[in-house]
Amino acid sequence: AQSVTQPDIHITVSEGASLELRCNYSYGATPYLFWYVQSPGQGLQLLLKYFSGDTLVQGIKGFEAEFKRSQSSFNLRKPSVHWSDAAEYFCAVAPSLEAAGNKLTFGGGTRVLVKP
């Protein structure tokens, strides 16, 4: 069975500074990988996804993520954080394209706090 680990429960970053959120997955083959963001009181919004191809994926809101097979990682980055980026971020994995919608496994989440 696949699993996802987000090692950082909380991250505090200053506005304008760069942000990197870590995600490690465990799966026998190449999984399908996602990052979602959840603002307080809201549902999850898809930031980006990786299915295949270029390992550097661009998403919405200025986010990008890099798939590194050798490290089983899919870390999320943003060069300059805005106060509105304060939220909970979830990395998720699905074992196959057919299961991308069905069997998402989420990491525990990383809460990002943005200091003025």
Partner 1 sequence: DTEVTQTPKHLVMGMTNKKSLKCEQHMGHRAMYWYKQKAKKPPELMFVYSYEKLSINESVPSRFSPECPNSSLLNLHLHALQPEDSALYLCASSQDTSQPQHFGDGTRLSIL
The span from the CA of 59 to the CA of 50, in Å, is 10
Q: How many residues bind partner 1 (CB under 8 A)?
A: 22
* Among positions 63, 74, 90, 114, the unique one binding partner 1 when judged by CB under 8 A: 90
By the rule CB under 8 A, 22 interacts with partner 1? no
- Count other C-beta atoms under 10 Å from residue 65's C-beta: 26
Q: In terms of Cα–Cα distance, which of 2, 6, 114, 1 is closest to 65?
A: 6
Q: Which of residues 51-70 bind partner 1 (CB under 8 A)?
A: none
Instruction: Give the residue with the Cβ less far from partner 1, 36 or 67.
Output: 36
By the rule CB under 8 A, 31 interacts with partner 1? no
Q: Phi/psi at 22 (nearest 5 deg)?
A: -95, 145
By the rule CB under 8 A, 35 interacts with partner 1? no
By the rule CB under 8 A, 104 interacts with partner 1? yes
